[in-house]
């Protein structure tokens, strides 16, 4: 499973990249707004920093304008994926961008059938939001496994990117159901390496090592 970092913060990306954890990056308008910088500048900087795919989201809702925005975003770097919301106009845009050989990520997916429609339009990636589904009292991971099942049933090659990941269990379950990609904030990524028994074991080894001449 690929790990993407879900942030527009270049420092976080550098820190995660230095540890070898970054296969790609996802951004959204809310994450870019937190940087206080211009959208295209942020995306260009991120694309220079990583080898993998970088999702950059359009902010219009009408297909003609979304398509133009997508073309502009795709020009910023070779590794840009144009992120488009899961609305009818978005799917028209996905079909047009796909015809131009531009990669797309259909975002804000909350039902398996939405994911099927995104794949039929030609989406490269589909992004179900597990944490936000959990917030409603439903089970976000059921959504992910149903999407994977449907894609397998029909040999659809759209990749499933689990988004809105909030904790390590979401990452574990994503890997168990065979998601292609999990995108997560840096703090979740960091928590994946930790285990109290590792810390306890290391403390004991270091203590015992002091008894042995080096």
Residues that bind ligand G3P (CB under 6 A): 6, 26, 28, 129, 131-132, 163-164, 183
Nearer to ligand G3P, 132 or 190 (CB): 132
Backbone φ and ψ of 64, nearest 5°? -60, -45
- Least separation in angstroms between CB 159 and ligand G3P: 14
Question: Both tokens of residue 91?
Answer: 């799917």
Q: Which is nearer to ligand G3P, 96 or 163 (CB)?
A: 163
Q: Of 5 and 94, which CB lies nearer to ligand G3P in the complex structure? A: 5
Residue 199 Cβ, how far from ligand G3P at the closest point, in Å?
28
DSSP conformation class of 129 = B
Phi/psi region, residue 122 (left: phi>0; alpha: psi -120 to 50; beta: rest), is left
Virtual CA dihedral for 79, 29, 15, 124, nearest 10 degrees?
-30
In the set 2, 44, 68, 83, the catalytic residue is 83
Active site residue 120: no
Shortest distance, position 55 Cβ to ligand G3P, whole Å: 8
Strands 2-6 and 181-184: parallel
Q: What's the DSSP call for residue 158? A: P
Nearer of residues 63 and 107 to ligand G3P, judged by Cβ: 107
Q: How far is the CB of 121 from ligand G3P (least distance, A)?
A: 20
Contacts of 160 (CB under 8 A, 6+ apart): 115, 125, 126, 128, 144, 147, 148, 151, 179, 180, 181
Q: How far apart are CA 45 and CA 184, in angstroms?
A: 19
As annotated, the active-site residues are 83
């Amino acid at each position: 499973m690929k790990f993407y970092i879900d942030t527009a913060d270049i420092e976080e990306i550098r820190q995660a990249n230095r540890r070898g954890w970054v296969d790609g990056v996802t951004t959204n308008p809310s994450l870019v707004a937190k940087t206080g910088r211009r959208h295209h500048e942020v995306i260009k900087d991120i694309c220079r920093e990583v080898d993998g795919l970088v999702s950059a989201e359009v902010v219009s809702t009408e297909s003609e304008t979304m398509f133009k925005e997508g073309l502009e975003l795709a020009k910023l770097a070779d590794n840009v994926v144009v992120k488009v919301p899961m609305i009818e106009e978005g799917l028209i845009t996905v079909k047009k961008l796909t015809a131009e050989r531009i990669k797309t990520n259909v975002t804000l997916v909350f039902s398996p059938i939405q994911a099927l429609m995104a794949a039929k339009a030609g989406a490269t990636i589909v992004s179900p939001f597990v944490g936000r589904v959990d917030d409603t009292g439903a089970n976000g991971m059921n959504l992910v496994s149903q999407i994977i099942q449907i894609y397998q049933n029909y040999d659809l090659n759209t990749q499933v990117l689990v988004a809105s990941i909030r904790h390590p269990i979401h990452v574990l379950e994503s890997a168990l159901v065979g998601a292609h990609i999990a995108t997560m904030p840096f703090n979740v990524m960091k928590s994946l390496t930790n285990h109290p028994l590792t810390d306890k074991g290391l403390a004991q080894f270091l203590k015992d090592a002091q008894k042995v001449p080096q």
